[in-house]
């Protein structure tokens, strides 16, 4: 689908946020440093999803654009961020230091060049620090990703990774608002449903 011409940024980094006052500044700084290093005209958008701490205030004091999504749920925050974003390429990732926003080049570049429609991170590729993921999640995600690879004949190794990028082809404009092509659910299945949609519709992923 054709992107609306009014877009004003090359990249939007969207960070769903719930009580991350100790880490949000660090994540925002990494994303901005990545954009400075590669001279990308972009924005960082923090989506506060009902934080009870100072997450939103800290992000605002740091000069970040912050929006509030009243409807609770990880998917709700992601949807709100996509609607409010202004970039031609979107990267979504949690602001709890789980992900490295300083090195997004392998995610951003293929999307910006139109080589794929979605890039999904892989937490296993760089190694997982002790205690960072429970045993059930570590092996459960591997098993579910294996099932997805068989079912959809793909090479995605971390189907539930929260760091992923979307291309302009996944976004369209209706009445001045942006929407993600498949309906993103409000819960954590927001991580995998868009990928399933693209695979079923023969879109390119990386």
β-pair type (42-48, 65-68): parallel
For residues 10 and 85, is the Cβ–Cβ distance under 8 A? no
Question: Does 142 map to a domain?
Answer: no
Inside any domain, residue 191? yes
Look at residue 36 and tell me if it is in a domain: yes
Which pairing describes strands 87-92 and 164-166: parallel, antiparallel, or unpaired? antiparallel
Give per-residue pLDDT as tens, 118-167: 888 775 566 555 555 554 555 556 556 556 555 666 676 565 677 889 87
145 within domain boundaries: no
Q: How far apart are the first and last CA of the chain?
A: 19
pLDDT in tens, 34-84: 999 999 999 999 999 999 999 999 999 988 999 999 999 888 898 889 888
pTM of the predicted protein model: 0.75
Q: Does position 3 have pLDDT exceeding 70, yes or no?
A: no
Please report, for the domain that includes residue 102, its CATH number.
3.90.550.10
The pLDDT assigned to 167 comes to: 76
By residue count, the chain amounts to 206
Examine residue 90 and state whether it is found in any structural domain, yes or no.
yes
Residue 184 above 60 pLDDT? no
Report yes or no on 25 lying in a domain: yes
- What is the domain extent for residue 58? 9-121+161-200
Rounded to whole angstroms, the Cα distance separating 206 from 116 reads 6
Considering the domain boundaries, does residue 134 fall inside one? no
Please count the CA atoms within 13 angstroms of the CA of 49 that sit on its side-chain side. Answer: 21
DSSP H or E segment with residue 87: strand 87-92
Residue 58 lies in a domain: yes
- Tally Cβ neighbours within 10 Å of residue 85: 26
Q: How many domains is the chain partitioned into structurally?
A: 1
């Amino acid at each position: 689908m054709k992107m609306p011409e009014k877009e004003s940024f090359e990249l939007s980094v969207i960070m769903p946020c719930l009580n991350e006052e100790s880490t949000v500044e660090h994540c925002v700084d990494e994303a901005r440093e990545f954009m400075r290093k590669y001279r990308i005209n972009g924005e960082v958008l923090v989506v506060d999803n009902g934080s009870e701490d100072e997450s939103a205030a800290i992000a605002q004091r740091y000069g970040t654009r912050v929006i509030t999504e009243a409807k609770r749920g990880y998917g709700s925050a992601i949807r709100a961020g996509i609607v409010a974003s202004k970039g031609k390429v979107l990267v979504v990732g949690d602001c709890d230091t789980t992900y490295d926003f300083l090195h997004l080049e392998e995610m951003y570049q293929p999307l910006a060049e139109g080589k794929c429609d979605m890039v999904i991170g892989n937490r296993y590729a760089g190694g997982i620090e002790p205690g960072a993921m429970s045993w059930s999640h570590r092996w459960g995600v591997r098993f579910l990703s294996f099932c997805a690879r068989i079912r959809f004949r793909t090479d995605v190794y971390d189907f539930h990774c929260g760091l992923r990028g979307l291309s302009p082809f996944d976004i369209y404009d209706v009445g001045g608002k942006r929407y993600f092509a498949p309906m993103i659910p409000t819960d954590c299945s927001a991580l995998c449903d868009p990928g399933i949609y693209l695979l079923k519709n023969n879109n390119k992923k990386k």
